[in-house]
Structures are given as C-alpha cells and as structure tokens.
Chains A and B, each alone.
Chain A
Amino acid sequence: MSLANVASPLTPTKAGLRLQKQFSWARAREAGVRAMLLGCASLSLLTTLAIVYMFLTEAVYSVTPDTTAFLQDVSLWDFLTDTEWSPQFADKHFGILPLLCGTFVIAGIGSLIGLPIGLAAAIYLSEYAKPKFRRMMKPVLEVLAGIPSVVYGYFALVFVTPYVLRPIFQSMLGIDVDIFNAMSAGVVLGVMIIPTVCSLSEDALRAVPRGLREAGYALGSTKYDVSLKVVVPAAFSGIVASFLLAISRAIGETMAVCIAAGQMPRLSLNPFRSMETMTAYMVSASLGDTPAGTIEYKSLYAVGFTLFLITLGMNILANWVMNRFREVYE
C-alpha cells in the first residue's frame, strides 16, 4: 500500500480548526512557571554540588597549578592514622583520629540517652496518651527542637557539669570532671535529639494500621504486649530511620558541643575530660586568624569533608533501611 493512496487523517476538514502549536500568553506563562519551579528544585542540588567541588579542590586535589590542596601537603595515611591533631602548634600534626574520637564519644553518649528516651516518649504518645495530651505534647516537643543549640551548650556548661555531673561523679565517685567535658556535651546532645527521634518514631508508630493492634488485643495481649511486640516491630524501618537521622544530627551538631566539650583534641574514651569534635575544631579554627592558603586553613576543609562524608553515609543508610525494611500498609 503506497502512502499516496491514503488520505491524510490530519487534513483539516473544517476551516479555522487548527491543531498546530501557536504562541499564546497562557502557554508562555506555563513554560515560565515550569522553569521557575525547576530552578528552585535545582538550587539545593547545585548548592550541594558546589560544596562538594569546594571540598574536593581545597582538601583533596587543587585544580589551580600554584596552590596545593590539603591532601597534597599531608599524606592520607598520616591524616587517618596520626594520633595527634595540632595544626596551630609549631610541631604540626594532622591526625583526624582525636577529632573523630571526640565526635563519636559525644554523639555516642547523646545517642545512648536520646534514642531510648525519644522512642519511649514516642511509644507513650502514640499508644498510651489520650488524644488531648498528645495534641498538647506535640507543640511542646517542637519548642524543645526550636531552642538554639548555643543555649544547650551554656546549659551544659553552667548547669549540667557543676550541678549534675560533678556532685555525682566527682564528689560521690571521686572521678575528676573537667569543666569542659564530653559527658555534659553528650547529655545535652541526647536531650536535643529527643524531639527528632520522638516525632519521627511517633509518625512511624501511628502509621501502623489499627487492624494490627486489634489483632494483637484479640489474641489476649496487654497494651504493653501490643505496643512492644506488634506495633514497634511493624514500625521498625521508620524507627531505625529516625535513629539514624538523629545520630546524623548528633554528629553534625556544632555549637552545643563546642561550648560544652571544649577545644582539646584528645584520643581518649574518658568522657569526663575535655574533648574536641570535628565541628568544634572548625568553629575554633575559623574564629582565629587563619589566613587563606595556609595548611591550617586547608585542614578546615579536610575536616569538613570528613564530616560531610560521615553524615552523608548515615543519611544514605537511613534511606536504605527505610526502603529495605518498609512494610507497606494500605
């Protein structure tokens, strides 16, 4: 069959009926709005890319020939294995381990305190509390989340250490407690992540369908059985994700730990000594006179990049857990 024999189906049958595209203001506005929304959506992506580019050029490999990046001056091996961090001293050492240690000791204490309390609070709000109490508590938790972290830092320094930690550990148990110490920073960090854990876990618990709870009760469960053996396992993925996001926040937290834990890089597991976290180093280094181009200046980027990789890894893990263990309920 040749094409010539087929009448074109697009031939206009009525004069004036045109299907071809023409310019119109409505369509122009449509395209304009679309471009604007795309621009806003791309902005965060572009910012992230710019930050990664900055990290890479300052910390890993410099693209301009007459400058060097951090890892071109300090070997990766030294950076990862040296046990001293002293970029501002005459005898410079660039071992990230003391900073990593400070970060993880403090975030660990915070997690040990904040995760169980946050989850318990979420279970209470979702399973036990009367709706009226729940409606009242939600804003209270949000207020807790809204307190600036610098306030928590001073709270640790002027209240937690002198009035809680020293009476218990120094006076009663005879353990020396530095005025700046990891424990007080960990305690307030724990309090700071409670709203995150509680709010996200509660969402996950409440998303568990009513039918599962009823099935639990119908089998002769107490409220405790239903909460802990039915609802919590059913909300597992959401709870773990809330934990990972909270830990990620604890690792990235800056002001509170900077004030409460001090600026003493130390490779130690004693939580009553002063320690320095990665974030606290970045604050202190950027406050001092650190000229651009010096090794101290570049070390900021190396530490920042390490922190970025850790929190990025945690967030990816949180996403993976969410998708891997999610139970889909209709």
Chain B
Amino acid sequence: MTIMQSFTELVHQRQQRESAKRNRPVETEVTKLDVRNLNFFYGEKQALFDVSMTVAERAVTAFIGPSGCGKSTFLRTLNRMNDIIEGTRHNGTVLLEGQEIYAPDVDVVALRKRVGMVFQKSTPFPKSIFDNVAYGPKVAGQRNHRALSEIVEQSLKRAALWDEVKDRLQDSALALSGGQQQRLCIARALATNPDVLLMDEPASALDPASTSRVEDLIFELKQNYTIVIVTHNMQQAARISDWTAFFYQGYLIEKDHTLKLFTTPKKKQTEDYITGRFG
C-alpha cells in the first residue's frame, strides 16, 4: 500500500464515522475566519509571507508542514497571541465573521474568549481541577458558585474528562496524568464558551492511547466548534481534519479538502512532503 493510499484509508474511515453523525449537508461551508495577505515579522525576520486562507465553520482545519514553517505562528495570529511577544508586527487582514480582529477598537480580551487556544505542552495552573476550569468564567466576572459548578461540569463532560475526575474536583490539577492534563486544558478552554478552538500540536506530547482520546474528542467537538489544529503528524491530520493546509518556509503552499490534499496535491512541494521525501 502506498503512503497516499494509507492516507486515503484514514480519511475514508473518518468520513464513514462522520456520515452517521452529520446532521447537515457536507457541502454547506460557512466561512468563519478569512485571512488575507498576512505578513508577519519577529523583529526583522519575516515568518509569514502573504498568507491568504479561509477557515470553515464547524470543521477541523489542520496545518501541516516541517518545523519552523510558520504554521504555529499563523495559528497564533488568529487570536492575537503573538501580541504578547515583544517586537512582533504584521500586516494584512484577519477577519472573524467579517470583523477585522486587528482593528484598533477590538478588545483583545474579548477576542480571546471567542477564540480559545490549547497548547502543545499542557499548562494546568497550579490550582485545583475545579479552579482550573472555572478560571476563564471567573476572570470574565462569573462569581455565582452554582453557575460555575455547572460550567465546570459541562466543560469537563465535553472534554471527556468528567467521569475520571468528578470525585476529586478539589485535587490539584498537577496530580493528573499527561493525557488528563491536556484534556483538562481543553475543558478549561471550552469553559469560556468560545466558537473557535485553536490547538497547537495538542497531542504531540501524549502517549498513543491519550492521543487517540484527544483525537476522538476533537471529532466530537467539531459538531459545535470551529477547530484549527497544528500538527506535525500527517496521519493525525488525515484522521481528524476536513481541510488541510500545508505550510513551507513561511508560505502557505496549498490548502484543500484533506482527501484531495493527501491524494492529488497540486503542488510538487506538498507531494514531496506528504510522501516523506523531505521534512
């Protein structure tokens, strides 16, 4: 079996699972994020070159590419996470449902509540499980304990962690296993009730069993959320994503339906990368 056939196999498996669940026609794609001609700089060094891309609502879009290709940087421009790094600048447009997120009157705190983020390394706060999940709603001003409890329960259930932790919500989050910590971070991101979830290699530090749980979770979450995921694992992109974008040296080389990108890539560089000829 060639590499491309194996990717096809993975995509078909996902589509079979999906057709059983999907409650809307496959073809109605609504654009959630629309990025136009984005250039991005770390000081003098340009990291992204004229990237234009749309991200479909309630779908999984995966970014693949070799290390340093700009995929994480691009992901982080989508909720202005790069703002907190000194000496970065950009030009171009990023529209979230038609609104420019870099406009001067945009409240970046409000933006990040709508565009949540999960990081490669799980980053539980040194607090209890409950307080970790309740953090977002609390800083947003929610003080009512009953409302918080409900949000915590909902979020942990959505992140498929509730059954494992419901009896020890007051324990330190640092006592959880790596896979549980990552799902806790997903629950924590869900608790602010975002519409977009950005995931920066969320499973790269996890063992295969935990990875598979996180992938199942992403599959569930896309019913309600727009998910953008950076991964360096092409099998993972094929398993979970509807769309895949290939980045190389700061350029977006190609973005297409996952099946098309993996079976009939238009660009030579994409084909070389997915067949393992470089990267």
- List the interface of chain A (C-beta within 8 A of B): 130-131, 209, 211-222, 225, 229-230, 233-234, 236, 327
- List the interface of chain B (C-beta within 8 A of A): 79, 81, 84, 86, 109-110, 112-113, 116-117, 119, 121, 123, 125-127, 135-136, 138-140, 174, 185, 188-189, 192
Additional pairs, 13, CB under 8 Å, beyond known A212-B125, A220-B136: A211-B123, A216-B135, A217-B112, A218-B116, A218-B119, A220-B192, A221-B109, A221-B139, A222-B109, A229-B135, A229-B138, A230-B135, A236-B126
> Are A214 and B109 in touch, CB under 8 angstroms?
no
Which residues on B sit within 8 Å (CB–CB) of A236? 126
Which residues on B sit within 8 Å (CB–CB) of A216? 125, 135
| CB-based nearest A residue for B114 | A220
Q: How distant is the Cα of A131 from the Cα of B86 in the complex, in angstroms?
A: 9
Total A-B Cβ pairs within 8 A: 67
Min CB–CB distance B190 → chain A (angstroms)? 10
- Among B79, B113, B139: residue with most chain A CB under 10 A: B139
Q: How distant is the Cα of A222 from the Cα of B113 in the complex, in angstroms?
A: 11
Main secondary structure of the interface of A (DSSP, over half): helix
> Are B192 and A219 in touch, CB under 8 angstroms?
yes
Q: How distant is the Cα of A130 from the Cα of B84 in the complex, in angstroms?
A: 12
Min CB–CB distance A237 → chain B (angstroms)? 10
Q: How distant is the Cα of A130 from the Cα of B119 in the complex, in angstroms?
A: 25
Which residues on A sit within 8 Å (CB–CB) of B79? 218
Q: How distant is the Cα of A39 from the Cα of B248 in the complex, in angstroms?
A: 60
Which residues on A sit within 8 Å (CB–CB) of B188? 215, 219
Which residues on A sit within 8 Å (CB–CB) of B109? 220-222
Offer 7 A-B interface pairs, CB within 8 angstroms, sorted by A. A211-B121, A213-B84, A217-B81, A218-B79, A220-B109, A221-B109, A233-B126
Min CB–CB distance A309 → chain B (angstroms)? 33
| CB-based nearest B residue for A329 | B126
Q: How distant is the Cα of A22 from the Cα of B236 in the complex, in angstroms?
A: 63
Which residues on B sit within 8 Å (CB–CB) of A221? 109, 139
| CB-based nearest A residue for B191 | A219
The 9 closest A-B pairs by CB, nearest first: A220-B113, A218-B117, A219-B136, A215-B123, A211-B123, A225-B139, A327-B126, A220-B112, A221-B139
